[in-house]
Structure 1
Amino acid sequence: MAKNTQRDGKAPTQRMLRVGEMIRRTLSEILQRGEVHDPDLARMSITVGEVRMSPDLRIATAFILPLGGIGKEEALDALRRNRHEVRHLVVKGGTMKFAPELRFQLDGTFDQMDATRALLAEDHVRQDLDE
């Protein structure tokens, strides 16, 4: 999946970052207001951590996580099921000429932060840090 969001190992362009952030904000607002007509999505509070754009801006990968991390797969399934309606709402609320294809993935950032905290809390690591 990294090939769609990276340009041969290069960092994303300013345009990719700007469009990704615009889509992230719009998607967050849509989910917060409950604009998608799906009862499963209406009862969930979903955080959109990041949106990565492909270099041609045709694919937007949204990294999501339900509040508290409970019901991850259900949230992912509900968003994937309603991706066409969500895509329409994102473009309607933005200033984009073309609607990118929306893809959804679980955001592993919080799991990585927890693993890093646990690693730094280990005795032999703390011992090295204290010196």
Structure 2
Amino acid sequence: MLRVGERVRHEIAALLARNEIIDPLLETVTVTVPEVRMTPDLKLANVYVMPLGGENAEDVVSALNAHAKFIRGRITPALDLKYAPQFRFFVDKTFDEYGRIDAILRSERVQRDLASDDDGED
């Protein structure tokens, strides 16, 4: 599953880089594909995307979902799988999670706890 997901990720990223999808919104943004999660039967690919800067993320995902059949037709021959997976696009929330965790780690309360641990080790 991981290997196929990574292959799908590379193919979708290459397709988006070539601007083969005719859509006014998609032609104006750069989209990254951080992760693709395949179902165990390899028939469904959940594709997580994020436009550069994070602006209009929901609109970009809607546009990609609208063009999912086109994307499937362009990518499937390169995958050489028994079944052509269906693609569902989602906004990648991991960047938000990283930011939230970083903010917690930098908070005064955590820094105070870390400082008190350092003092106790001497």
AA aligned opposite 1:110: F
1:32 aligns with 2:17: yes
C-alpha RMSD over aligned residues: 1.1
- Distance of 1:129 and 1:20 partners within structure 2: 39
TM-score normalised by structure 2 residue count: 0.90
Q: 1:81 matched to which residue of 2?
A: 66
Partner of residue 10, structure 1: none
> Matched residue of 2:36: which SS?
strand
**Gapped runs of 5+ residues in structure 1?**
1-15
1:40 partner amino acid: L
Count how many residue pairs are aligned between Structure 1 and Structure 2: 116
Q: CA deviation at 1:98?
A: 1.9
Per the alignment, do residues 33 and 105 of structure 1 end up closer, same or farther by CA in structure 2, a change over 3 Å counting? same
Question: Would you say 1:129 and 2:114 are equivalent positions?
Answer: yes
> C-alpha distance in 2, partners of 1:92/1:74?
28
Q: For residue 90 of structure 1, what is the aligned residue in structure 2? A: 75
Q: Distance in 1 between matches of 2:79 and 2:86?
A: 15
Bigger radius of gyration among the two: 2
Unaligned runs of 5+ in 2: none
CA distance in 1, matches of 2:24, 2:84: 25
Indicate yes or no: 2:56 matched with 1:71: yes
| CA positional deviation for 1:96 | 2.3
**How many angstroms does 1:20 deviate by?**
0.3
Q: Aligned letter for 2:96?
A: D
- Matched residue, 1:43: 28
Deviations 1:14-66 (A, max 9, x none): xx000000000000000011011222211111111100000100000001110
Q: What is the rounded CA distance, in whole Å, between the counterparts of 1:38 and 1:92 in structure 2?
A: 22
Secondary structure of the 1:48 match is strand
Residue matched to 2:92? 107
